[in-house]
Structure 1
């Protein structure tokens, strides 16, 4: 009987932790939501995530899905959206083709990232096999800025 009670208690605790793991840690500050509303007044289906160092809003606008990042004080950091393969800038494609990754790696997904000061970057998620994956960052001229290993 003690084992059954212990198992039930462990199961209940596990279930409680699992359900709260994805919950919002803290309330989104008014400065953040107001900054978001000013920048994206026509946004639909807005969902917020707490990133501890800031907040991320996932939303739809003009039939495109975006993610916008804001600081805790409501300063906009960046906005990104997926870009179909056909819409990847030719300069970015050329930059990838000139990189050391072009021969053995393939592009799995592309993203356009709008940054402060009207700067735009492009992120290519590339993959060599099921284990080796990277993110390459390019400017709009096709110059590779950096690469990151991903899991």
Structure 2
């Protein structure tokens, strides 16, 4: 009988934790959804994620998958999408080839970031091993802006 009680309590706890994890922590502000609709009126398959400091919309537009970040007040911060290596500007490829990472690190994924004030940056996810991974951020001229460790 004790085992049944313990199993029942464990099952209730698991359902409570699962339900809480899947619930959105706060309501999506109207300013955020209005700003999104204004910027991307034809977006499809929109899903929202609460990031505490703002909200992220994951969506499809013209058969491309995007992720757009907005502040809690509805100000657009950035939009990114994964691109193929062939789409990477020659200057950014050259910047990577001239960096200290070119010989031992391989490019795993490439993202194009659209930022405010019509700025563009490119984020390269690179890997040396299963444990050693970095994000490199380049401007369109191929200048390395930052290199950060990632998981």
When normalised by structure 1's length, the TM-score is: 0.97
1:51 corresponds to which residue?
A: 51
Deviations, residues 24-48 of structure 1 (Å, cap 9, x unaligned): 1111100000000000011000000
1:118 and 2:118 matched: yes
Larger displacement relative to structure 2 (119-128 or 10-19) = 10-19
Query: What is the aligned length?
Result: 151
When normalised by structure 2's length, the TM-score is: 0.97
Larger displacement relative to structure 2 (87-96 or 44-53) = 87-96
Whole-angstrom CA distance in 1 between matches of 2:89 and 2:5? 61
Whole-angstrom CA distance in 1 between matches of 2:99 and 2:12? 52
Whole-angstrom CA distance in 1 between matches of 2:10 and 2:70? 38
Pairwise CA distance, 1:18: 2.3
Consecutive unaligned residues of structure 1, counting only runs of 5 or more, are: none
Whole-angstrom CA distance in 1 between matches of 2:25 and 2:16? 15
Whole-angstrom CA distance in 2 between matches of 1:123 and 1:117? 18
Give the 5 Å matches for 1:104-115: 104-115=104-115
